[in-house]
Amino acid sequence: MHCIVTTAASGEAAQADELAARFGLRAEARAGRPLHRVLDDARGAPVLVLAARRADLSQRDRAFRASAGMALLRLLRARRGEQDPLVAAAGLRPGDRVLDATLGLGGDALLASQATAANIVGVESSGLLAAFTQAALRRLPQAAREAGERIEVLRADHRDFLRAQPDGSFDVVLLDPMFRRAGEAAPLFELLRARGPRAARGRDAARGASRGAPGRPGQGRREGTRAPAARARAAAVAAIGGHRLRLGRFLGQMTKSRPFPWGEFLVK
């Protein structure tokens, strides 16, 4: 089933064509059709509608607004001097070369861009999610626009992408696999659950991350990890050499009310 990109009256056809070409979707001219007719013609395929200031993904009776969600609030808090859990766990510093290997909705990449003031590479295997997130980044409020512009969105499987990178390509690699058992989350995570890949087991991703981000002298290897389930917005610092997680203390604080499903996440 081909995902479709089209425009609202205020949208630009050139942008729809560009997103479709980059992320393997199909661009269709709106041709004056009302939205219900566009959805009928799509025959159940998801439709991403681009307007000048917003973007919406519709499929049958569901619709999702492209936005930064809670990441925007986290960014504003960080600018006021509050410490973000992900930034602290990954030890992000100005100038760090960061790869968000499972981009999803782009929230953590946005925080990484704010923390490092550097370009961020975000990899997402779903072409639809990649286009949806790219559309959201282009429509951020002014306060977050500069950070969003530094994020490069690529469509790729993170394991294949990591294997193709030379050693030391990044200072930090962020990984956020989807868990097999869903926890409570914001509505946009329904989109991630429906379109995102399931949790990747095995050593390939960890090995690729450790090659891509070998660490600095005196620090060892670093891999920031983040978990969208069970109220945790970020996970822990990983000890890649042994393929085990060294848990950040803040994680236990964020998940006191619900046991964290480590069996779904630990790299064996």
193 CB-side CA count, 13 A:
14
In angstroms, how far is the first alpha carbon of the chain from the final one?
35
- What confidence category does residue 2 fall into, taking pLDDT thresholds of 50, 70 and 90? confident
Please tell me the predicted confidence (pLDDT) of residue 59.
Answer: 83
Residue 261 pLDDT: 39
Q: Is 50 exposed, middle or buried (0-12, 13-18, 19+ CB in 10 A)?
A: buried
Domain 70-264: CATH architecture, name and number where available: 3-Layer(aba) Sandwich (3.40)
Domain chopping of the chain, boundaries: 4-65, 70-264
Phi, psi at residue 52, to the nearest 5°? -65, -40
* Cβ-contact 109, 120 below 8 angstroms: yes
Instruction: List the one residue out of 186, 192, 185, 176 whose CA is nearest residue 236.
Output: 176
pLDDT of res. 234: 33
| Mean pLDDT of the 104-127 span | 95
What's the whole-number average pLDDT of the chain?
75
Indicate whether 243 pLDDT > 60: no
Read off the pLDDT of each residue in 20-47 and give the average, rounded to a whole number: 94
Report pLDDT digits (tens) over 45-67: 999 999 999 999 998 788 899 99
Average of per-residue pLDDT across 103-108: 92
- Give the residue from 62, 71, 68, 84 showing the smallest Cα distance to 193: 62
Q: What's residue 244's pLDDT?
A: 30
Higher-pLDDT residue of 178, 89:
89
pLDDT of residue 258: 40
Beta bridge partners of 220: 216
pLDDT at 119: 97
> Among 142-151, 200-209, 242-251, which stretch is predicted with the lowest mean pLDDT?
242-251
Which is more confidently placed, 220 or 164? 164
Q: Is the pLDDT of residue 198 over 80?
A: no
The arithmetic mean of pLDDT across residues 179-206, rounded, is 50
Phi, psi (rounded to 5 degrees) for 56: -130, 140
What pLDDT band is residue 72 in, cutting at 50, 70 and 90? Answer: very high
> Three-state SS across 149-178?
HCEEEEECCHHHHHHHCCCCCCCEEEECCE
Number of H-type helices and E-type strands within the chain: 11, 12
- Look at 231 and 212; give whichever has higher pLDDT: 212
Give the confidence band of 196 by pLDDT, cuts at 50, 70, 90: low
Torsion angles phi and psi, residue 210, rounded to 5 = -70, -30
- The answer to whether residue 232 scores a pLDDT higher than 80 is no
Tell me the pLDDT tens digit for each residue of 132-184: 999 999 999 999 999 999 999 999 998 899 989 888 899 999 987 654 454 45
The answer on pLDDT for 223 being more than 80 is no
Mean pLDDT within 186-194: 53
Per-residue pLDDT at 225: 38
Across 60-209, the runs of DSSP E, i.e. the strands, are 62-65, 98-100, 120-124, 151-155, 172-175
Between 106 and 244, the more confident residue is 106
